[in-house]
Amino acid sequence: MSKADVFDSSCSARHALELIATKWAVLILSALAQEPMRNGALLRKIGGISQKMLTQTLKDLERNGLVEREDRQTIPPHVEYRLSELGQSLEQTLIALDLWAERNFPALDKARERHDAAAARQRRVAKVRLG
């Protein structure tokens, strides 16, 4: 077994980062860290996610052992998702990431506004020079 190296594109550690680093995976895992949830509850909690993307991401997380799907075999169907033991091992990291985003979004918003304003000024100057 070779040493884990996230900078090597063929390393499984890189694949793990690719799986959990998507915005939908992070949000789904964070929601499930709070409590097990059904599909509809996840869809309502995670604003902006489509049913297709939710289903696809849940399948990826389940395939990779981070989420467990429990089908209670009832009518009407009752399927619940929860973090697996492996998924639970991410909980503190997810909480820290969520808190960082919530604390720092104003600074990120300001940086984006400054950058966009500077880019707009450069486009205007370039347009005047060409015009």
- Residue-level pLDDT at 48: 97
Spell out where 43-116 has E strands. 67-71, 79-83
H or E segment to which residue 4 belongs? none
Cα separations (Å) of 130 from 104, 107, 126? 39, 35, 6
- Residue-level pLDDT at 52: 97
Render pLDDT for 122-131 as a digit per residue (tens, 0 to 9). Answer: 998 888 888 7
Select from 100, 72, 80 the least CA-distant residue to 31: 80
Whether the CB-CB separation of 65 and 86 falls below 8 Å is answered with yes
Q: What 8-state DSSP symbol labels residue 82?
A: E
User: Residue 117 — very low, low, confident or very high, per pLDDT cuts 50/70/90?
Assistant: very high
Residue 43 class from Cβ within 10 Å (0-12 exposed, 13-18 middle, 19+ buried)? middle
Whether the CB-CB separation of 68 and 54 falls below 8 Å is answered with no
Its pTM stands at 0.82
**Taking the C-alpha atoms of 6, 23, 31 and 67 in order, what is their torsion angle to the nearest 10 degrees?**
-50
Q: Find the range with the poorest average confidence among 63-67, 74-78, 114-118.
A: 74-78
